[in-house]
Each structure stands twice: as structure tokens, then as C-alpha cells.
């Protein structure tokens, strides 16, 4: 898998034109690949840590002090900025993340990978189990990241969502790419359903 969490059965992964082999999660973070799992509770957050700790978890080097010790002041400043930019609510940095709504947990997870300066964000079912308002907030966040030059790999089983947020999409069946289309070729859900039924 591109995030390094599983052994790749087949295919190649290129970052900045260079093929990357033997990917591990640690190597992926160094390469600038962030992964947001569809299982938010089990793999996305550390439930009883604060929002601050969850946001800075993938970028601990950025919160080190002069003597390579963890700077709590720096950590809070960084998390505060990300909470404001992504509008994570409530704004209480020390609140345990488990007590946030699903949408706000997801925004904090996205904040973690933005703070880690990920060049590539692999996002699996990012709006599963969150309300419609939070969905559109997340779509807008991802669009802003794409406009800023980030590559977003958006995995979704919701057809309307695919059409809402993607510029180009691939259809996969049994692990193989069976089609590649642009947003301009497929304009509505009916067109997408016609492709999937072939």
C-alpha cells in the first residue's frame, strides 16, 4: 500500500519522479506521504490524547526546543494555528479528541498531515459517519490543499462525492484499474453508474 502499512503485491510508487521501494510508514512520512484511514477511531486518532497531541503527532521534529526536548509552548502554538485554520471545534486544545464530533476529529486528522507538510495525502472514505455540513467543510479543505500543490488521492465509494471533489478518477475492480476519467467527461451520477455497470 502507498502509505507503507501493507506489503505491495504489484505496481510501482513514484514520488517526485523517483521509484520508491520497500515502503514503511516511517519512510512514507519522510517522503511526505500522509495517510488518513477510513477507520477514524482505530487508526486515525489516539482517543484520550488532546487535540494538540493528535495534531502534532506526525511532526514531532517541528515541536522540539533548542536542546531537542519537546517544547510544550511550540506544540501549543502550532496546534492553535492548525485548529484556527481548519476550524476545529471546540477550540479547547487540551480537550481529549475522543469527545469531538466525527467531523471535527476528521479535521484534526487532516490538520496532523498538513502540519507534517505532506506532499501527498491518501484519504480513504474521509466523510464516513459525519454530518453534511462537516462533509462540505472537508471538501473545501481538500480543494485548498490541492490548489496549494498537494496531491490528493481520494478513495470513496460514494458516487456523488467522487464527482463533487475529483478532477480525475480511476475505477478499480478486484485491485485493477478498469477505467480512467476526468470530471469533464462524466458530469453526473448517471454517467458514472453507466461506466460502473459495464
Is 191 a domain residue?
no
Rg (CA), the chain: 18
pLDDT given at position 105: 95
Is 176 a domain residue?
no
Is 188 a domain residue?
no
Is 90 a domain residue?
yes
pLDDT given at position 173: 81
Contact 79, 71 (CB under 8 A): no
Is 108 a domain residue?
yes
pLDDT given at position 6: 59
Is 32 a domain residue?
yes
- In CATH, what number is assigned to the domain containing residue 138? 3.40.50.300
Distance CA 38, CA 12 (A): 23
Tell me which H or E stretch contains 33.
Answer: strand 33-36
What separation in angstroms does the CA of 170 have from each of 6, 33, 61, 71? 21, 20, 36, 43
Check residue 89 and report its DSSP letter.
S
Is 7 a domain residue?
no
The total number of structural domains that make up the chain: 1
Is 194 a domain residue?
no
Length of the chain: 198
Walk along the chain (198 residues) and give the pLDDT tens digit of each residue: 455 555 666 778 889 999 988 888 888 889 999 999 999 989 899 999 999 999 999 998 888 877 788 889 999 999 999 999 999 999 999 999 999 999 999 999 999 999 999 999 999 999 988 999 899 999 999 999 999 999 999 999 888 888 888 888 888 888 788 888 887 777 776 667 666 666
Contact 183, 166 (CB under 8 A): yes
Amino acid at each position: 500500500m502507498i502509505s507503507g502499512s501493507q506489503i505491495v503485491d504489484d505496481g510501482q510508487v513514484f514520488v517526485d519522479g523517483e521509484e520508491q521501494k520497500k515502503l514503511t510508514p516511517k519512510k512514507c512520512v519522510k517522503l511526505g506521504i500522509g495517510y488518513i484511514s477510513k477507520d477514524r477511531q482505530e487508526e486515525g486518532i489516539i482517543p484520550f490524547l488532546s487535540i494538540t497531541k493528535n495534531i502534532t503527532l506526525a511532526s514531532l521534529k517541528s515541536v522540539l526546543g533548542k536542546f531537542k526536548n519537546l517544547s510544550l509552548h511550540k506544540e501549543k502554538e502550532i496546534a492553535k494555528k492548525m485548529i484556527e485554520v481548519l476550524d476545529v471545534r471546540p477550540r479547547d486544545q487540551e480537550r481529549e479528541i475522543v469527545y469531538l464530533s466525527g467531523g471535527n476529529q476528521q479535521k484534526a486528522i487532516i490538520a496532523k498531515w498538513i502540519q507534517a507538510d505532506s506532499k501527498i495525502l491518501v484519504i480513504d472514505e474521509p466523510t464516513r459517519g459525519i454530518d453534511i455540513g462537516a462533509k462540505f467543510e472537508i471538501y473545501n479543505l481538500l480543494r485548498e490543499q490541492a490548489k496549494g500543490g498537494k496531491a490528493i488521492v481520494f478513495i470513496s465509494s460514494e458516487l456523488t462525492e467522487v464527482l463533487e471533489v475529483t478532477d480525475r478518477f480511476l475505477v478499480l475492480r478486484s485491485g485493477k484499474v478498469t477505467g480512467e476519467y476526468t470530471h469533464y467527461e462524466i458530469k453526473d451520477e448517471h454517467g458514472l453508474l453507466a461506466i460502473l455497470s459495464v
